[in-house]
Chain A
Amino acid sequence: MKIPYYPGCTLHERALDFDVSARECAKAVGVELQELPIWTCCGAVFPLVSDNVMEILAPVRNLAYAAREGDKLVTLCSFCYHVLKRANKVVKDDPEKMEKANLFLRADTEAREEVESYTRKDYEGQVDVLHYLEMLRDVVGYDEVKKKLRRTLDGLRVAPYYGCMLLRPKKEMEFDDPEQPSIFEEFLDTLGCDVVDFAMKTECCGGFQIVADEDLAVQCSRNVVGSALKNGAEIIVTTCPLCRYNLDKKQDEMAKSVRGFKKIPVVYFTQLLGIALGIGGEHIDFSDNYVDPRPVLAGKSLL
């Protein structure tokens, strides 16, 4: 089964460990992720003001490219998923903005003949934007995933960190319950992990504020990490490169203000899936992790 795939900028470069592990895992469960032949940055933020059409153009353009490839588009990064899904909803619900966006797309094709074939038709919201977790649950099926596992991650205490962008706003994302989500827990159950529930699993990690105000973002991420540790987690899993960065790479900063702070590794969910599927070698790469997850994994005989 082939499904169109949008990696987004960060997975294309700084989060290659996420991209590579996801592609390999998909293959192992019978899905070929087909990267869109042409794509651009999604813009990273969805505009929250009513008059901003400019910031939906990049996601709509990417969706129009996707429409040439199929009726679904899978993505992994929480920001990309959030922006693409909400922009798609704008196109479906707001005829005026749909028309404006398509006018821009047509202007684009005149200027750049090479993309003409991709955006010739108007885009009307016909693509279903899926998160990779939704693909595993709804297209492949967690039961099928389970059949493909080479080993289960028994005894590994894993805290699933959702963050903000997958869940909110509920009426637009339609992803899961914003206060008590379960898709991640069900996924980790499938892998055989001991799922650790924690209060801060849907709290903000500080997000982009890490760029402007590090102390502010570290305060947020420290609360998340502290909450997972307190409940006995050995490892945190995430779906977002920015969450990974804030939660993992800033642990030295967190340690400065918490006595007896214990470090905890933070990995992408596809890396754990890869281990369970028996994928090894360069496809499951932990060299970019600041807190090395290998000792914890080796301690459970998972490496």
Chain B
Amino acid sequence: MRLTIKTEELRDELIRRVEDLSRQSLLQCYQCGKCSAGCPVVDEMDVIPSEIIRLLQIGRLEEVLNSKTIWVCASCLQCASRCPKGVEFSNICDALRQMVLRKRLSNPRMDADEVSAIMISDAPQMGVVAALRKLNG
């Protein structure tokens, strides 16, 4: 596969924004894949966590922001806990979600009126609050 990496994409200020928001250094990652191996929802992701970081390293923010991955993450922090380089993918994922949600780059993953009646009447309220904060902003 031919891949064109453009200098301007590598220096994209939005990529630096991901680093600032998440307080993570993307170049720390050496692609060992432990984050992806430990992720409990990796099967449901279209781009696995280590690939997300790789794409960000080479300036492909667009693909990352459009991935299903960032909405599937449940912030369980297993990736961050197991990274030998101390990179907290969970925080990178939260930063990416926030970048989408704050600018409404796409529809939020979940609107308040989409919460099902059974969840309203049955689920612990902490779950509903957490879901809306994570997936709606």
* A-to-B contact residues, CB < 8 Å: 8-10, 13-15, 41, 43-45, 47-52, 55, 77, 79-80, 164, 167-170, 178-179, 202-204, 206-213, 216-217, 219-220, 223, 241-242, 244-245, 249
**A50–B41 CA distance with the chains assembled, in angstroms:** 25
Taking CB atoms, residues of chain B closer than 8 Å to A212 are 71, 109-110, 131, 135
Say which size band chain B's interface belongs to: 35 or more
B20 touches A207 (CB 8 A): no
Does residue B31 face the partner (Cβ distance < 8 Å to A)? no
A204 touches B78 (CB 8 A): yes
A168 touches B127 (CB 8 A): no
B135 touches A9 (CB 8 A): no
- Give 6 pairs: A residue, B residue, CB < 8 Å, sorted on A: A10-B126, A169-B77, A207-B76, A212-B109, A219-B44, A245-B123
Known contacts A43-B133, A209-B131; A216/B90 CB under 8 A? no
A15 touches B81 (CB 8 A): no
Closest to B72 in A: A216
Does residue B128 face the partner (Cβ distance < 8 Å to A)? yes
* B-to-A contact residues, CB < 8 Å: 20-23, 40-41, 43-44, 71-72, 74-78, 80-81, 88, 90-91, 93-95, 98, 109-110, 115-116, 119, 122-135
B77 touches A211 (CB 8 A): no
Taking CB atoms, residues of chain A closer than 8 Å to B110 are 211-212
Which residue of B40, B72, B125 contacts A203 across the interface (Cβ within 8 Å)?
B40
**Would you call the interface of chain B mostly helix, strand, loop, or mixed?**
helix
Known contacts A45-B134, A211-B131, A212-B109; A168/B81 CB under 8 A? yes
Known contacts A79-B130, A212-B110; A45/B75 CB under 8 A? yes
CB distance from B35 to the nearest CB of A (A): 13
Which residue of B22, B94, B129 contacts A41 across the interface (Cβ within 8 Å)?
B129
Closest to A51 in B: B21
B23 touches A50 (CB 8 A): yes
Across the A-B interface, give the 8 residue pairs with the lowest CB-CB distance, nearest first.
A204-B76, A48-B94, A211-B131, A208-B130, A168-B77, A241-B124, A208-B131, A164-B76
A-B interface pairs (CB < 8 A), number: 141
B22 touches A49 (CB 8 A): yes
A208 touches B127 (CB 8 A): yes
Closest to A210 in B: B127
Known contacts A178-B81, A203-B40; A211/B119 CB under 8 A? yes
Which residue of A55, A80, A242 contacts B133 across the interface (Cβ within 8 Å)?
A55
Taking CB atoms, residues of chain A closer than 8 Å to B119 are 210-211
CB distance from A170 to the nearest CB of B (A): 7
Taking CB atoms, residues of chain A closer than 8 Å to B124 are 10, 14-15, 241-242, 244-245
Known contacts A13-B125, A211-B115, A249-B122; A49/B77 CB under 8 A? no
Which residue of A44, A168, A220 contacts B40 across the interface (Cβ within 8 Å)?
A220
B41 touches A241 (CB 8 A): no
Taking CB atoms, residues of chain B closer than 8 Å to A49 are 21-22, 91, 94-95, 98
Pick the most buried of B75, B81, B125, B127: most chain A CB atoms within 10 A of its CB.
B127
Taking CB atoms, residues of chain B closer than 8 Å to A79 are 126, 130
Closest to B129 in A: A44
**A212–B131 CA distance with the chains assembled, in angstroms:** 7
**A216–B95 CA distance with the chains assembled, in angstroms:** 22
**A80–B130 CA distance with the chains assembled, in angstroms:** 11
Taking CB atoms, residues of chain A closer than 8 Å to B23 are 50
CB distance from A132 to the nearest CB of B (A): 16
